[in-house]
Structure 1
């Protein structure tokens, strides 16, 4: 019995440690699918303003019942200050960020857009420093790594924008010749510049969303309810923008094809589930960790974009993406050193940066062995969060 109780605690500790990684990998796979499905939808003529509204309508329908059922008793009281922050969240990401993203996607390609979004951790890191959510000491090596990595990441984004290079053939021996397929992926230099600026604006908006969500969660620690309010207010505000921008009501028509699949898929997976999982992980790991898995999405989209959309991949995009990944993981290494030092440097200053094992798991272990657990039986990596 004692051995079984110890094993249960060890398994719980291991699962608790890998949960944030599994959640972020799952989301990157989901985001990769969104890049492809959304590009197909936009090519078939659906307005991106309408897509934003339908996406968050689907997200609201998906997540609101769960918030109502599971958080009835723990939902904190709503204040005007918190409500205004949630309204800002609904405007920054669902409306501003996503409309800029869809515009940038139309001017570039799914592969280029997913690669460009690798600068998201760098922008988030800069904003986290500005709002004092990230610690930087110029004398420490890991802080220097984060700063240098941020500069390298931004340099990679400039390479992708300014240098195109020859076309790389990934999965086929010939390049598609019909202009309808390749116009959005190759584009003119002016279109590429405009699309890049749109994507940079989208990245900035998404980073601001992460920062504000991290702050709001401290005042309103009910992830499902917060997600429901964000997507609902995003739908309302996005609807107002769409009504102003789209005067033809035929633009709102959808059928049982990609024009329906795109808002349903992106709403459920990339809004409802993403906002919730990001909020859960962000409470313990911070906004920079949440944005650190984007290269996985880029790899998946590059493969799917060539297979499904017949997109052209240019050498400049590959070189820029490699530079971005190098800079990105310099930032991640610096963040990992923060996690190692946090138990000794930040005692009593918020929650541990390791995801905590629930107190119930430790109590189950005590009950299983018939008494209080000895310190030697519980791994030293089990940390209970301090509020």
Structure 2
């Protein structure tokens, strides 16, 4: 009897494990948005933040790459080397640079909502570059096309319509000043500008996936490749930061968010996220992991309001819901591709995950 009970408990734990790990991962990834926003709010330069974050990510991944891929790591070629430099520029420099800048104009919750559009943008780029085939007569292709259009509609709504303001929690600190020195017109202008910056980050991130899907075929050592991309991004970001910001104090690290932010985002977005997602995808596949992405948006919205005093707007709520619906449509269509074995292009998620186009995880910020 005890053995039977033990077997049942073990079976229940195994069934619940993917759900527990994936939900926990969403909380962890939500923290990357919050720590980033808190670091920027405390005066840390976003360019310096990018340098430290990617340097820490490279250091976190390098030991695992050296240990686990020492026998399978291919030789470096000039083509792969150039592609790594481009990947390091697309993701850490362009994507994170514009996304964090847009986040300063808007909010962490807003950025996390817009980032759900990345799979749809990736799908469009993959179709243009013929990495993804669309058979318009098939239901799964129709779902991906409709989901992409719905996602863009949600992002456009969030850009053009702000709507009434909501505060989930009363908080003494706010991420946006509401004083008389800023008119509503200027605030709206900043909101639109911030949204455009985040959308540019989405485009760069999606381009990163496309190029990564090509590079990983030539250099199939994912940990090593991820570590090299983070290192290339850190070095290129350092050059940009040194040119743009001549203040030596901007590089100072203290025992506050200037340390906690880069440390958490570097380790969480690379090491821990890679391990958990890889573990879950072995048993449930990438579609299962991706389907939980909108949960991160909800967590960031709630915690951002409670911890950072961020304002929530009706346009963001409606647009976020529309984007989530579009995301699930794309995910469903891509899931049918997996079931029918027609997916044609392998890719990785940001920095570390192993997925196929256009299923990507917009959480790894």
TM-score (norm 1): 0.77
Contact 1:227/1:275, CA 8 A, preserved across alignment: no
How many angstroms apart in 1 are the aligned matches of 2:217 and 2:225? Answer: 11
| 1:245-256 equivalent positions in 2, closer than 5 A | 245-256=244-255
How many angstroms apart in 1 are the aligned matches of 2:213 and 2:281? Answer: 7
Q: How many residues align?
A: 331
Residue 183 (1) aligns with residue 150 (2): no
Partner of 1:354: none
Residue 218 (1) aligns with residue 212 (2): no
Label 1:283 to 1:49 Cα distance change in 2 as closer, same or farther (>3 A): farther
Partner of 1:148: 146
Aligned match of 2:125 in 118, 124, 127?
127
Contact 1:100/1:201, CA 8 A, preserved across alignment: yes
Aligned match of 2:62 in 61, 64, 76?
64
Partner SS state of residue 183, structure 1:
coil
Partner of 2:329: 330
Label 1:280 to 1:78 Cα distance change in 2 as closer, same or farther (>3 A): farther
Contact 1:121/1:288, CA 8 A, preserved across alignment: no
Label 1:49 to 1:154 Cα distance change in 2 as closer, same or farther (>3 A): same
Contact 1:165/1:316, CA 8 A, preserved across alignment: yes
Contact 1:289/1:332, CA 8 A, preserved across alignment: no
Partner of 1:103: 101
| 1:295-310 equivalent positions in 2, closer than 5 A | 295-310=294-309
How many angstroms apart in 2 are the aligned matches of 1:325 and 1:203? Answer: 15
Label 1:86 to 1:276 Cα distance change in 2 as closer, same or farther (>3 A): farther
Contact 2:131/2:345, CA 8 A, preserved across alignment: no
| Deviation (angstroms), 1:183 | 2.5
Partner SS state of residue 168, structure 2:
coil
How many angstroms apart in 1 are the aligned matches of 2:23 and 2:220? Answer: 24
The answer for unaligned runs of 5 or more in structure 1 is 1-6, 352-387
Contact 1:56/1:271, CA 8 A, preserved across alignment: no
| Deviation (angstroms), 1:284 | 12
Contact 2:49/2:262, CA 8 A, preserved across alignment: yes
Label 1:284 to 1:202 Cα distance change in 2 as closer, same or farther (>3 A): farther
Label 1:139 to 1:318 Cα distance change in 2 as closer, same or farther (>3 A): same
Instruction: Report the RMSD for the aligned CA atoms in angstroms.
Output: 3.2
Q: Over alpha carbons, which structure has the higher Rg?
A: 1
The answer for unaligned runs of 5 or more in structure 2 is 1-6, 179-183, 347-365
Partner of 2:205: 206
Partner of 2:156: 158
Partner of 1:317: 316
Label 1:210 to 1:237 Cα distance change in 2 as closer, same or farther (>3 A): same
Label 1:181 to 1:141 Cα distance change in 2 as closer, same or farther (>3 A): closer
How many angstroms apart in 2 are the aligned matches of 1:279 and 1:245? Answer: 37
TM-score (norm 2): 0.81
How many angstroms apart in 2 are the aligned matches of 1:192 and 1:277? Answer: 35
Contact 2:85/2:229, CA 8 A, preserved across alignment: yes
